[in-house]
Amino acid sequence: MFKWKCTVGKPSTPTITGIFYIDGRLGQALSHGCIRLDTENAKCIYNNILDTTTVVVH
């Protein structure tokens, strides 16, 4: 399991919390409540996380 610091949506466009599933749309702009990661952490996710992987946001 990985845990990284990230920047989340501002109060007017908050990042929702919950359990999400990677469905092949990784890398697409799909939300105004985006999550921003350090470039190396984002690369790790992009290169290693498979479709249908469960993602939990707290």
If you write DSSP's letter for every residue of the chain in order, what string do you get? ------B---TTSPPP-EEEE--S-TTS---SS--B--HHHHHHHHHHPPTT-EEEE-
Q: What is the predicted pLDDT for the residue at 10?
A: 81
Q: What is the predicted pLDDT for the residue at 27?
A: 64
What residue ranges of the chain have pLDDT lower than 70? Answer: 1, 4, 6-7, 22-23, 25-34, 36
